[in-house]
Every structure is written in structure tokens, then in C-alpha cells.
Amino acid sequence: YDAILFVPIDINAGAAAVAVAAEAGIPVIGSNTRVNSELLTSYIGSDDVKAGEMQAEAVCKAMGYKGNVVIIEGPIGQSAQIERREGNLNVLKKYPEIKLLEMRTANWSRAEALSLMENWLNAHPGQIHGVIGQNDEMALGAIQAMKAAGIDPKTIPTSGIDGVTDALLAIKSG
């Protein structure tokens, strides 16, 4: 190989693969998610802490800076999950009238987020006032669960990250 474009699943486990490539003289370019290695040739991706802060701030503002919020996380141990959580929590700690009710992973999956949100809606009826989905797929799954429960999704501010086509179309349609 002349080079490797690397999108690691685990921030720590991926370091071993980068070390093997570096030892073989193969440049490794990290893309989209980070890996704990100083051996990358370069990294191309977004600032996930900032993204997490922006989405949490938008939900908090839409909630009037009070109420209960849930966070649907990406795969535990992936850099985007770690950094977006950091950004989410940075914002939530600024607003004492907002309580973090639940925080669990749905592994970037719309189906897993749908199931998780169904469970939360049953466990906390009428008590969820905002949803922070660390990606668009999970936010869309949460919205599906609200609709299935007869809840107007416009009444529970929900955010995602990434700008996937389905999310953009959902925003456009209201």
C-alpha cells in the first residue's frame, strides 16, 4: 500500500494498527474519527466537542433552559461518542434547571435508538423534554418512537449531527 485512509471504531484499539503501518513505512491518514496515536500522518475531521456543544445548546435553548433531557450516544469508546459527550455535558452543566434523565448508546443505529427511546418514553411518561442524539440516525429513531407513542415530535426538541439526507428532508418537511 502507498497509504491507508483509517476510520477507527475504537479510539484506543486502533492505535496498534497505526503502529504496524507506521513501522512498515506506510502513511496513515485518520478520517472522521480519532485514534490515540501520534503516528498518524494527518487527521481530517470535525471538532466533535464543538459539535456536541452546539447541539446541546440548541436543545437547551428550545427547552427554555429547563426540564429533562436524554442523550443517545454513539458506540462507547469511539472518538466521536467520547468528544460529543464531552461537548454535550459541557453545556448541560451550565444550566442547573436541566436534568440529564438518561444517557445510553444506540451505536449510531436508528433502529436501536427507536427501541431505546420507546423504553425511555415508557419509563418516564411526559418527563422527557429534549433529546440529544449524537448523530442524525439516532435522532430520527427517537422521533420515530415519539410518533409511534402518539407524541408530536415538535413538542420535544431533538437534535442530531451529520446532515444525512433523511435528516435534512425531515427538517425541510417540518
Q: What is the pLDDT of residues 30-86, one digit of tens each?
A: 998 888 899 999 999 889 999 999 999 999 999 999 999 999 999 998 989 999 999
Q: Is the CB of residue 82 less than 8 Å from the CB of residue 47?
A: no
The answer on pLDDT for 169 being more than 90 is yes
d(CA 96, CA 109): 30
The grid coordinates listed for 136 are 442524525
Check if the beta carbon of residue 106 is closer than 8 Å to that of residue 39.
no
What pLDDT, on a 0 to 100 scale, did the predictor assign at position 8? 84
Q: What mean pLDDT is predicted for residues 94-119?
A: 98
Q: What is the mean pLDDT of the chain?
A: 95
The angle formed by the CA atoms of residues 33, 102 and 170, to the nearest 5 degrees, is: 65
Q: What is the pTM of this model?
A: 0.87
Note the pLDDT tens digit of each residue in 92-103. Answer: 999 999 999 999
CB 100, CB 69: distance < 8 Å: yes
| Spatial distance between the Cα atoms of 168 and 171, rounded to a whole number of angstroms | 5
Calculate what percentage of the chain has a pLDDT beyond 70.
100
Helices 48-62, 79-92: inter-axial angle, 10-degree rounding = 40
Span of 19-23, 42-46, 118-122, 134-138 with lowest mean pLDDT: 42-46
pLDDT (0 to 100) of residue 125: 97
